[in-house]
């Protein structure tokens, strides 16, 4: 067992030699592509049962890796010397595994983008209805993709960041994309108004509770609430003096801002926590079913 | 025939939502421009923030970290304006730093405008350090070697040649850090900045809730929450700034919504009453 | 006249303000109705966003986690990751489509495996902080006020009744049903509070935009004085 | 306050092990033919009604998993969409699935393809109906809002994790008069769905949805296990607060119940000879 650790530690076999590394690397990557993509026709010969078995196994192993890393004791002295109280023998592999997921995520982004571009290319080529807008989308995509990729490469100092790139990127990103974000985000203010007007009616007990708490909090969180309670109604603003009787304490805690805050922290928090518990348990059960492929869900 | 024509109440109930949008828009524009003021009660975190800056001596150095851009303008801009106004009053020197290009541009323009009004000199009394892509790396770097980490200011001058930070080697030469931000940057400042530098925090209203623990533990010395906090701060400074205006508009938009909810319920009630009478 | 000269987009700074305003107004036109101007900007928006993502989320990630480790640091084993991930692209093939499910299976397995840590980190500390709520004054908690006591009891009662509402596998009858109904009402209080509290943040966003229109574009100086 | 490993407090492993056991045992029970019950979830009965209306009007159904990142929540959302697709396949109702996460988009393609296949209508599957719009929050929202208004959708299903954009979807859907059913695990967005949608599936109901719709024994069994787990949480809460009242909130036994590091604190206090 110690042999293995030593071998891993030396890392020589995991690294290409310094000289002509680029050439070796290119060859290995090409080889990997041929090998893995060449495997596809082989996999294709499998009967449906075999295919399902592969998917189930891969799912289980991927889950097992992360589960084992979490559950195994961190100072597993039986097998490995206790070198670091914060990890077990799988922990060093967590970061690379996360990187693998990141890479697959980046490839998925390529897939999604490909789907988007394909749809609009088809619209444009086949002159479907409204194909002009598809052209708009494609043009802005191509321009922005070029600038964004160049900008990323410039950050890595692979290409030079000329003044044209800087200007053009800034106009499209800072003065167009970011402004569109802000505009779209602010639309919600209008929608929140129309939704509140339409939905907050005294129709049922539930709707009424929703309405009254929403209105209470809305007044309580703005200075108007303080104005009404402390200036108009003359309620005491400061906290109750120590040792005051119950009525005085009550008087000191029924200002609108205080009630709003109390509803937000004392009444909202436990309801939210109960939902969180339910969601957590539901998610955990789902995770177990997916891990063991107990559910014919999406795969 | 009578069933065809809508009563007033039915018309109110079925109002086209575009009217609501217009009313909200007009309402906000009006109360942004109108000089109506609603007094605010100053909350303890804001008071603490104010007291902390009051302790500054002329010439003390303050680092402002400004990471907001267009979408949280209404909450962060009033904070930044109020803070800079107070710092100029105390004759403190300050430098600004951002984590991305948009927040750099927006904070630089704003600081330029506010300082020009009061005759504060760029380079002498304040400077903008541009943006750093990685905040953790930048803070760690500034602690050991500030001019070497920042290299140039936003105008391309070498930091070591800027009079405002003449002789400053490290972030620990600063008196305080003020984080004006819509995102979770304050734990980073708390974790990595030197212990002798006090940290003040200007979050948006959504982010404020999470910061109370830091406030309790003294890791943050004061906090201005969103536009509301800025209004309270302006009251302490006795100026009428953006915070007051924005908070006015927010308050009255809340009033508008509540009035319309009540109106809707009243109309529903009257409509039912009418139908019962007719049917 | 001076105002007009300053107002028009005669230099790059002004032009960028005008672009921002145009974007804002185009998006706001959706409030009236869906229209060709909105449609134009919507498609441009999606195109720009898709293009932008390729930089930081595509090229940057591939460079950092794949190209750099292989070609610069020489860790050859990474070479297999991208071809394996490329199995995802078989999705577009009728015959080979199932192969993409191997990669999808990896992702599903990984997210299931990661959930154990998420469950522990996210929910167990919450369970623990629920326990930090003594119900009555005792020797162990002498400093408790009546206010705290009421709040703590309320907390536990609300938590348990909402939890009761979220049970599924038996018919809720009698007292259980009553508790569940109370649970739903408590839930509505929580939801109303969140609604009311969010209004302020959303109004602030709109005010920010309107300020941009008034101050940056029309150059009506609001506030400050 | 977070867990890097189960060892941070073995209580975590015990709780997870207990829940896993409760779920698995009941799944086995269900598979062996035990009759299991599930209570009514009102919003879900409306799915058929919404589909029916779409079919009548000949307008599309939209399914929106929102910006849900790929993971357990996304898989559950897609499982629900798969069920809905199987229903609409019978009537050849047009559909659009709009995703803001590329991985979810990829998996959705497979899931929807399967759904049409299982319903016996592979001819109806059109890859162009499953769309990835953007991974940028509000670019995605603008695309969804535009599409809902242009195509005047008749029914809109929103399931998954949502953020601020939720109200944009729900209000535009409401504007065109769509029947809307939303289900989300994001507590902060529930009030907006409640205000603007016809039916809202809240919190854990979201995970119970597929059991309710399919009545598959595995899922029903799992639900029984989940209820037992909630009972465990409730009992821990009750027992814990009573213990905290008597022994104080800093007592080792309280730390043991879920606080990282609490396991060691508890045992060292026991070994020292009972909390002094």
What confidence tens digit (pLDDT) does each residue in D180-214 have? 999 999 999 999 999 999 999 999 999 999 999 98
**What pLDDT does A242 receive?**
75
Angstrom distances, CA of residue C146 to CA of A237, A240, C38, D63: 20, 13, 57, 50
In total, the C-beta contacts within 8 angstroms joining chain C to chain D are 197
pLDDT tens sequence across A92-125: 888 899 999 999 999 999 999 999 999 999 999 9
Poorest-pLDDT segment among A16-25, B48-57, C64-73: A16-25
- Domain end position, chosen among D195, D214, D233: D214
Query: How far is the alpha carbon of A191 from chain D, nearest alpha carbon, in Å?
Result: 6
In a domain, C138, yes or no: no
Angle formed by the axes of helices D102-118 and C100-130, to 10°? 110
- B131 and B261 co-located in one domain: no
Q: What is the percent of chain B where pLDDT is above 90?
A: 54
| Mean pLDDT, residues C129-133 | 89
Q: Are residues D185 and D68 in the same domain?
A: yes
Residues of D in contact with C180 (CB under 8 A): none
| Chain C residues touching B29 at Cβ < 8 A | 210, 214
Asked if the C-beta of D168 comes within 8 angstroms of chain C's C-beta atoms, the answer is no
Segment D169-190 shows an average pLDDT of 95
Both D88 and D222 in one domain: the answer is no
CB B126 within 8 A of CB B97: no
Residues D12 and D139 in one domain: no
Minimum CA–CA partner of A108 in chain C: C88
Note the pTM of the prediction, 2 decimals.
Answer: 0.92
Q: Cα separations (Å) of D43 from B109, B250, C184, D47, D182? A: 51, 35, 15, 7, 9
Whether the CB of D25 is below 8 Å from some CB of chain C: the reply is no
Residue of A74 and B107 predicted with greater confidence: B107
Q: Hey, are the CB atoms on B249 and C203 less than 8 Å from each other?
A: yes
Name the residue facing C166 among D4, D36, D203 (closest C-beta).
D203
Q: What is the mean pLDDT of chain A?
A: 88
Is A145 within a domain? Answer: no
Q: Is residue D142 part of a domain?
A: yes
Indicate if B114 and B16 belong to the same structural domain.
Answer: no
- Domain limit, last residue, from C25, C42, C74: C74
For residue C95, the SS3 value is coil
Residue-by-residue DSSP string for chain B: -TTTSPPHHHHHHT--HHHHHHHHHHHHHHHHHS------PPPHHHHHHHHHHHTPPTT-EEEEEE---GGGHHHHHHHHHHHHHHHHHTT-EEEEEESSHHHHHHHHHHHHHHHHHHTPPBTTTEEEEEE-S-HHHHHHHHHH-HHHHH-B-TTS-BGGG-GGGTT--SGGG-SEEEEE-SSS-HHHHHHHS-TTSEEEEE--HHHHGGGHHHHHHTSS-EE--HHHHHHHHHHHHT---HHHHHHHHHHHHHHHHHHHHHHHHHHHHHHHHHHHHH-
Domain membership of residue C88 as a residue range: 78-132
Question: Chain A residue with minimal CA distance to B246?
Answer: A222
Residues B229 and B252 in one domain: no
Confidence band (pLDDT; 50, 70, 90) for A1? very low
Of D85, C69, B53, A85, nearest to D77 by C-alpha is D85
Nearest to D23 among A112, A177, A288 (CB): A288
pLDDT in tens, D215-271: 999 999 999 999 999 999 999 999 999 999 999 888 898 989 988 888 888 988 888
| Chain C residues with beta carbon closer than 8 angstroms to that of A140 | 43-44, 47-48, 51
Cα of first residue to Cα of last residue in chain C, in angstroms, is 24
How confident is the model over C181-195, as pLDDT tens digits?
Answer: 999 999 999 999 999
Pair D93, D203 in one domain: yes
Tell me how close the Cα of B257 comes to any Cα of chain A, in angstroms.
Answer: 6
Percent of chain D residues topping a pLDDT of 90: 79
**C 20-39 → A contacts, CB under 8 A:** 20, 23-24, 26-28, 30-31, 39
Would residue B3 count as lying in a domain? Answer: no
> How many separate domains does chain A show?
2
Supply the pLDDT for residue B4.
Answer: 58
On whether residue B104 sits in a domain, the answer given is: yes
Residue among B31, B43, B28, B27 at smallest CA distance from B228: B43
**Alpha-carbon distances, residue A108 vs A2, B115, B279 (angstroms):** 39, 48, 62
Task: Encode pLDDT of A29-73 as tens digits.
Answer: 999 999 999 999 999 999 989 999 999 999 999 999 999 999 988
User: At A3, is the pLDDT very low, low, confident or very high (cuts 50, 70, 90)?
Assistant: very low
SS3 A15: strand
**D248 Rama sector, left if φ>0, alpha if ψ -120 to 50, beta otherwise:** left
**Strands of the sheet with B198-202, listed across from one edge:** B126-131, B93-98, B61-66, B176-180, B198-202, B222-223
* In a shared domain, residues C112 and C61: no
Give the tens place of pLDDT for each residue, B210-237: 788 788 888 899 999 999 999 999 999 9
Domain of A206 in residue numbering reads as: 200-291
For residue A202, what is the nearest residue in chain B, using CA coordinates?
B265
Q: How far apart are CA C24 and CA A181, in angstroms?
A: 9
User: Residue B261: is its pLDDT beyond 90?
Assistant: yes
The mean-pLDDT minimum among A30-34, C26-30, D271-275 falls in D271-275
State the residue range of the domain holding D240.
6-37+218-271
pLDDT for B116-138, tens place per residue? 988 999 999 999 998 887 888 88
pLDDT for position B85: 94
* Same domain for B267 and B142: no
D262 touches chain C (CB under 8 A): yes
Q: What is the CATH number of the domain that holds B230?
A: 3.40.50.10160
- The pLDDT of A147-169, averaged and rounded, is 87
Q: How many domains does chain D have?
A: 2
Looking at the complex, report in whole angstroms how far the Cα of residue D53 sits from the nearest Cα belonging to chain C: 23
Task: Quote the number of domains for chain B.
Answer: 2
Encode pLDDT of A62-79 as tens digits. 999 999 999 988 875 555
Domain C-terminal end among D214, D240, D263: D214
Band of pLDDT at residue B105, cut at 50, 70 and 90: confident
Q: Are D100 and D25 in a shared domain?
A: no
Q: Would residue A266 count as lying in a domain?
A: yes
Residues from chain B that touch C31, judged by Cβ atoms under 8 A, are 18, 21
Are residues C114 and C63 part of one domain? no
Global ipTM: 0.92
In C, which residues are within 8 Å of B234 by CB distance? none
Q: Which range marks the domain in which residue B265 is found?
A: 8-36+248-278
Based on the domain organization, do D190 and D95 belong to the same domain? yes
Tell me: do B263 and B193 sit in the same domain.
no
Does A53 map to a domain?
no
Q: Domain check: are C53 and C124 in the same one? A: no
Q: Look up the CATH number of the domain holding residue D128.
A: 3.40.50
C110 and C154 fall within a common domain: no
Q: What is the spatial distance between Cα C156 and Cα C151, in angstroms, rounded to a whole number?
A: 9
Q: Do C159 and C118 belong to one domain?
A: no
- Inter-chain contact C125–D259, Cβ cutoff 8 Å? yes
Assign B1 a pLDDT band (cuts: 50, 70, 90): very low
State chain C's mean pLDDT as an integer: 91
The three-state secondary structure class of C138 is: strand
Question: Are C32 and C104 contained in the same domain?
Answer: no
Determine, for residues B74 and C205 on separate chains, whether the beta-carbon distance falls below 8 Å: yes
Nearest Cβ partner for C166 among A180, A205, A274:
A274
Order of strands, sheet of D130-132, starting from the edge strand that comes earlier in the sequence: D130-132, D95-99, D61-66, D155-161, D179-184, D199-202
CB pair distance less than 8 Å for D36 and C97: no
How confident is the prediction for chain B on average, in pLDDT?
A: 90
Asked if residue A15 belongs to a domain, the reply is yes
Residue B163 near residue B185, CB atoms below 8 Å: no
Q: Are residues D115 and D179 in the same domain?
A: yes
Give the whole-number percent of chain D exceeding pLDDT 70: 98
Q: What is the pLDDT of residue A100?
A: 94
**How much of chain A, in percent, has pLDDT values that exceed 70?**
91
B178 shares its domain with B70: yes
Query: Does residue D73 surpass a pLDDT of 60?
Result: yes
Q: Choose one of D181, D199, D214: the last residue of a domain.
A: D214
Give the C-alpha separation, A86 to A84, whole Å. 5
- Within this chain, do residues B117 and B89 fall inside the same structural domain, yes or no? yes
Position C140 in a domain = no
Predicted confidence (pLDDT) at residue A91 exceeds the cutoff of 70: yes
Is residue D1 assigned to a domain? no
Share of chain C above pLDDT 70, in %: 99
Mutate to test the interface with A, among B42, B261, B268, B271 (most CBs of A within 10 A): B261
**One domain for residues B103 and B153:** yes
Q: Is residue D276 part of a domain?
A: no
With CB atoms and an 8 Å threshold, state whether A290 touches C109. yes
- Chain C touched by A91 (CB under 8 Å): no
Alpha carbons B138 and B159: distance in angstroms, whole number = 15
> C128 and C178 share a domain?
no
Structure confidence at residue A77 (pLDDT): 55
Q: What is the pLDDT of residues A178-213, one digit of tens each?
A: 999 999 999 999 999 999 999 999 999 999 999 999
A252-256, A283-287, C220-224, D85-89: least confidently modelled range:
C220-224
Cβ-contact B119, B173 below 8 angstroms: no
Neighbours of chain B (3+ CB pairs under 8 A): A, C
* D256 close to D9: Cβ distance less than 8 angstroms: yes
Q: Is residue D232 part of a domain?
A: yes
Confidence at residue C225, expressed as pLDDT on a 0 to 100 scale:
40
A125 touching chain D per CB within 8 A: no
Q: Does residue B155 sit in the same domain as residue B272?
A: no
In a domain, residue C141? The reply is no
In the prediction, which pLDDT does B65 show?
95
């Amino acid at each position: 067992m110690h042999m293995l650790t030593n071998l891993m530690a030396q890392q020589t076999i995991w690294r290409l030699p310094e000289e002509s590394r680029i050439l070796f690397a290119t060859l290995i990557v090409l080889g990997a592509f041929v090998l893995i993509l060449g495997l596809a026709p082989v996999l294709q010969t499998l009967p449906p049962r075999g295919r399902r078995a592969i998917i189930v196994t891969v799912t289980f192993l991927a889950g097992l890796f992360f589960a084992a890393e979490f559950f195994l004791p961190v100072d597993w002295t039986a097998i490995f010397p206790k070198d670091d109280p914060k990890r077990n023998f799988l922990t060093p592999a967590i970061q690379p595994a996360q990187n693998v997921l990141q890479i697959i995520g980046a490839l998925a982004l390529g897939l999604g983008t490909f789907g988007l571009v394909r749809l609009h290319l088809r619209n444009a080529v086949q002159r479907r209805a409204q194909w002009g807008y598809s052209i708009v989308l494609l043009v802005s995509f191509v321009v922005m993709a070029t600038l964004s990729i160049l900008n990323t490469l410039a950050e890595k100092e692979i290409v030079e960041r000329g003044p044209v790139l800087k200007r053009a990127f800034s106009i499209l990103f800072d003065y167009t994309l970011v402004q569109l974000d802000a505009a779209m985000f602010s639309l919600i203010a209008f929608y929140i108004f129309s939704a509140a007007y339409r939905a907050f009616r005294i129709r049922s007990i539930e709707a009424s509770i929703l309405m009254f708490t929403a209105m209470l909090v809305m007044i309580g969180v703005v200075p108007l609430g303080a104005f009404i309670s402390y200036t108009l109604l003359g309620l005491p603003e400061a906290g109750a003096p120590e040792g005051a009787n119950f009525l005085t304490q009550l008087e000191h805690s029924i200002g609108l801002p205080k009630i709003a805050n109390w509803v937000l922290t004392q009444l909202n928090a436990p309801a939210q926590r109960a939902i969180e518990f339910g969601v957590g348990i539901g998610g955990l059960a789902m995770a177990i079913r997916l891990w063991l492929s107990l559910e014919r869900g999406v795969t | 025939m009578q069933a065809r024509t809508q009563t007033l109440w039915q018309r109110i109930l079925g109002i086209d939502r575009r009217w609501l949008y217009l009313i909200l828009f007009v309402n906000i524009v009006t109360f942004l421009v109108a000089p109506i003021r609603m007094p605010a009660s100053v909350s303890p975190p804001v008071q603490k923030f104010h007291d902390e800056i009051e302790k500054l001596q002329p010439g003390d150095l303050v680092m402002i970290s400004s990471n907001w851009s267009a979408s949280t303008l209404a909450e962060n801009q009033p904070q930044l304006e109020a803070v800079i106004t107070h710092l100029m009053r105390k004759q403190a020197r300050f430098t600004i730093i951002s984590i991305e290009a948009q927040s750099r541009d927006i904070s630089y323009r704003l600081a330029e405008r506010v300082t020009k009004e009061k005759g504060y000199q760029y380079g002498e009394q304040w400077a903008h350090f541009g943006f750093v892509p990685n905040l953790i790396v930048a803070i760690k770097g500034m602690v050991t070697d500030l001019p070497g980490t920042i290299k140039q200011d936003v105008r391309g001058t070498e930091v070591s040649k800027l009079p405002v930070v003449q002789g400053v080697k490290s972030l620990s030469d600063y008196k305080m850090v003020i984080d004006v931000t819509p995102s979770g940057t304050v734990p980073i400042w708390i974790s990595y900045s030197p212990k002798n530098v006090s940290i003040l925090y200007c979050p948006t209203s959504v982010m404020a809730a999470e910061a109370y623990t830091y406030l309790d533990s003294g890791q943050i010395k004061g906090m201005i929450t969103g536009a509301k906090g800025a209004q309270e701060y302006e009251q302490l400074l006795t100026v009428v700034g953006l915070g007051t205006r924005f908070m006015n508009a927010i308050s009255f938009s809340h009033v508008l919504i509540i009035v319309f909810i009540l109106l809707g319920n009243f109309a529903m009630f009257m409509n039912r009453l009418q139908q019962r009478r007719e049917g | 006249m001076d105002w007009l000269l300053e107002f028009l987009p005669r230099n790059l700074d002004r032009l960028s303000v005008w672009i921002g305003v145009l974007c804002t107004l185009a998006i706001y036109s959706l409030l009236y109705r869906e229209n060709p101007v909105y449609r134009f900007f919507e498609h441009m928006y999606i195109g720009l966003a898709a293009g932008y993502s390729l930089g930081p989320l595509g090229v940057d990630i591939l460079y950092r986690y794949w190209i750099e480790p292989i070609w610069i640091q020489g860790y050859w084993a990474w070479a297999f990751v991208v071809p394996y991930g490329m199995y995802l692209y078989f999705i577009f093939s009728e015959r080979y489509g199932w192969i993409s499910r191997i990669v999808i299976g990896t992702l599903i397995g990984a997210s299931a495996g990661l959930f154990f840590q998420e469950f522990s980190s996210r929910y167990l500390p919450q369970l623990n902080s629920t326990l930090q709520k003594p119900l009555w004054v005792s020797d162990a908690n002498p400093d408790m006020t009546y206010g705290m006591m009421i709040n703590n009891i309320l907390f536990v009662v609300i938590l348990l009744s909402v939890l009761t509402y979220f049970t599924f596998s038996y018919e809720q009858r009698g007292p259980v049903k009553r508790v569940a109904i109370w649970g739903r009402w408590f839930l509505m209080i929580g939801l109303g509070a969140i609604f009311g509290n969010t209004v302020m943040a959303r109004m602030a966003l709109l005010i920010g935009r309107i300020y941009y229109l008034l101050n940056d574009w029309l150059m009506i100086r609001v506030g400050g004085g | 306050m977070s867990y890097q490993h189960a060892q941070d407090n073995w209580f975590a492993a015990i709780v997870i092990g207990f829940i896993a056991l409760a779920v698995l045992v009941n799944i086995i029970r269900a598979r062996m033919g035990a009759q299991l019950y599930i209570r009514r979830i009102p919003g879900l009965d409306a799915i058929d009604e919404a589909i029916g209306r779409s079919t009548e009007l000949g307008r599309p159904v939209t399914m929106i998993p929102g910006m849900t990142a790929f993971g357990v929540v996304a898989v559950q959302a897609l499982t629900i969409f798969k069920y809905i697709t199987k229903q609409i396949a019978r009537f050849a109702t047009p559909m659009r699935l709009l995703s803001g996460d590329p991985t979810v988009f990829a998996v959705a393609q497979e899931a929807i393809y399967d759904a049409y296949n299982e319903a016996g209508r592979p001819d109806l599957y059109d890859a162009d109906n499953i769309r990835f719009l953007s991974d940028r929050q509000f670019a995605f929202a603008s695309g969804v809002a535009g599409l809902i208004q242009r195509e005047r959708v008749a029914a809109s299903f929103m399931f998954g994790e949502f953020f601020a954009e939720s109200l944009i979807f729900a209000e535009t859907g409401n504007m065109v008069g769509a029947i809307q059913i939303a289900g989300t695990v994001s507590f902060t967005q529930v009030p907006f769905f409640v205000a603007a949608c016809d039916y809202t599936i809240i919190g854990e109901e979201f995970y119970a949805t597929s059991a309710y719709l399919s009545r598959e024994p595995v899922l029903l069994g799992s639900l029984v296990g989940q209820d037992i787990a909630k009972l465990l949480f409730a009992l821990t809460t009750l027992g814990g607060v009573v213990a905290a009242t008597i022994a104080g909130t800093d007592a080792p036994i309280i730390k043991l119940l879920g606080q990282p590091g609490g396991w060691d604190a508890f045992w060292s206090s026991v070994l020292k000879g009972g909390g002094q």
